[in-house]
């Protein structure tokens, strides 16, 4: 199998896993066997069985159903987080890379100041300001991701600006916005797409980390981070409570990393 064959195989695996995770989450209301929030104290810590595929937790809630519904919440928050990081990051990076020296210096000074914080610490500091809740988690983690995406965008735009055909377009008198849209945007798209994948997997892990730490609002909600937090108290007697949400998180992040890796190896990115 050649290099292309390997890449094709990886791409298929990544898309298959992602499609599976998204489908299971979207179809949760039809696939779930129980109400994900309903506590049945009599069923506490039931091991996996035909009735409860992945067993039950401390409150007797069905782990299988909670994992399915958890995907909706966890992935929904992650998608929102990624948007909050990507859109401003893209705009700031484009402006800095194309807007001239003064704009570049001042914008990047702010971004560098934000990059002085490790991203999870910055997200925690923001959550201290914003308070608890899912939207707050998305905002905190997303805003913490803006500077990195702005930096990557700026670097790509600067590189594209120096390309011969962009210079040629400028020499021919094309308007700046037209050059940005017709020549630079298509050139920078592949690396920025690959880094968007990295941002998404990072959004899932950090967002779930904040909900795990207890900042995700409603603690009864089905959510992979909350499920893993609940599992801390009970995995010693009922290990299955930690299994499904952990596997779900890892498979999702693995698939996105794989996809980002394939995109980064795209011929346009070398």
Contact positions vs other proteins (CB under 8 A): 109, 112-114, 116-121, 124-129, 131, 201, 205, 208-209, 212-213, 215, 228-229, 231-232, 235-236, 239, 242, 245-246, 249-251, 253-254, 257-258
CB of 268 to other proteins, least distance (A): 17
Separation between Cα atoms, residue 240 and residue 242, nearest integer Å:
5
Output the DSSP codes for 10-45: HHHHHHHHHHHHHHHHHTHHHH-SS-TT---GGGTT
* Those residues with Cβ within 8 angstroms of residue 215's Cβ, 6 or more apart along the chain or in another chain: 127, 132, 133, 136, 137
Tokens of 190: 């592949």
Looking at the chain, which runs of residues are DSSP E strands? none
Rank residues 79 and 264 by Cβ distance to other proteins and give the closer one. Answer: 264
Compute the Cα dihedral for 28, 33, 35, 38 and give only its sign: negative
- The 10 Å Cβ neighbour count of residue 19 is 11
CB of 235 to other proteins, least distance (A): 6
CB of 3 to other proteins, least distance (A): 10
CB of 246 to other proteins, least distance (A): 4
Rank residues 15 and 205 by Cβ distance to other proteins and give the closer one. Answer: 205
CB of 192 to other proteins, least distance (A): 19
Rank residues 6 and 178 by Cβ distance to other proteins and give the closer one. Answer: 6
Rank residues 176 and 214 by Cβ distance to other proteins and give the closer one. Answer: 214
Q: In terms of C-beta distances under 8 Å and separation of at least 24 residues, what long-range contacts does 106-109 make, across chains too? A: 107/150, 108/150, 108/151, 108/154
Q: Which residue matches tokens 């499904």?
A: 244
CA 262 to chain centre: 17
CB of 265 to other proteins, least distance (A): 10
User: DSSP 3-state helix, strand, coil percentages of the chain (rounded to 5)?
Assistant: 75, 0, 25
Tokens of 264: 């980064």
Rank residues 33 and 250 by Cβ distance to other proteins and give the closer one. Answer: 250
Phi-psi region at 161: left, alpha or beta (left = phi > 0; alpha = psi -120 to 50): alpha
Rank residues 156 and 228 by Cβ distance to other proteins and give the closer one. Answer: 228
CB of 59 to other proteins, least distance (A): 19
Rank residues 40 and 48 by Cβ distance to other proteins and give the closer one. Answer: 48
């Amino acid at each position: 199998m050649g290099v292309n064959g390997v890449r094709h195989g990886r791409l298929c695996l990544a898309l298959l896993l992602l499609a599976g995770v998204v489908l299971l989450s979207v179809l949760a209301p039809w696939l779930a066997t129980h109400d994900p929030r309903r506590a049945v104290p009599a069923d506490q810590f039931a091991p996996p069985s035909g009735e409860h595929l992945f067993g039950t937790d401390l409150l007797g809630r069905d782990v299988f159903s909670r994992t399915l519904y958890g995907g909706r919440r966890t992935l929904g928050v992650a998608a929102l987080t990624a948007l909050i990081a990507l859109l401003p990051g893209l705009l700031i990076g484009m402006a800095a890379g194309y807007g001239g020296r003064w704009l570049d210096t001042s914008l990047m000074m702010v971004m560098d100041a934000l990059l002085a914080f490790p991203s999870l610490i910055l997200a925690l500091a923001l959550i201290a300001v914003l308070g608890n809740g899912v939207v707050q988690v998305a905002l905190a983690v997303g805003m913490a991701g803006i500077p990195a995406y702005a930096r990557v965008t700026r670097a790509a735009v600067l590189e594209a600006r120096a390309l011969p055909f962009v210079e040629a377009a400028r020499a021919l008198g094309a308007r700046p916005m037209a050059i940005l849209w017709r020549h630079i945007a298509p050139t920078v798209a592949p690396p920025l797409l690959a880094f968007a994948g990295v941002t998404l997997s990072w959004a899932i892990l950090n967002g779930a980390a904040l909900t795990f730490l207890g900042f995700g609002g409603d603690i009864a909600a089905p959510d992979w981070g909350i499920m893993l937090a609940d599992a801390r108290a009970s995995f010693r007697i009922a290990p299955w409570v930690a299994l499904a949400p952990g596997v779900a998180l890892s498979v999702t992040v693995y698939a996105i990393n794989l996809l980002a890796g394939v995109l980064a190896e795209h011929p346009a990115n070398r």
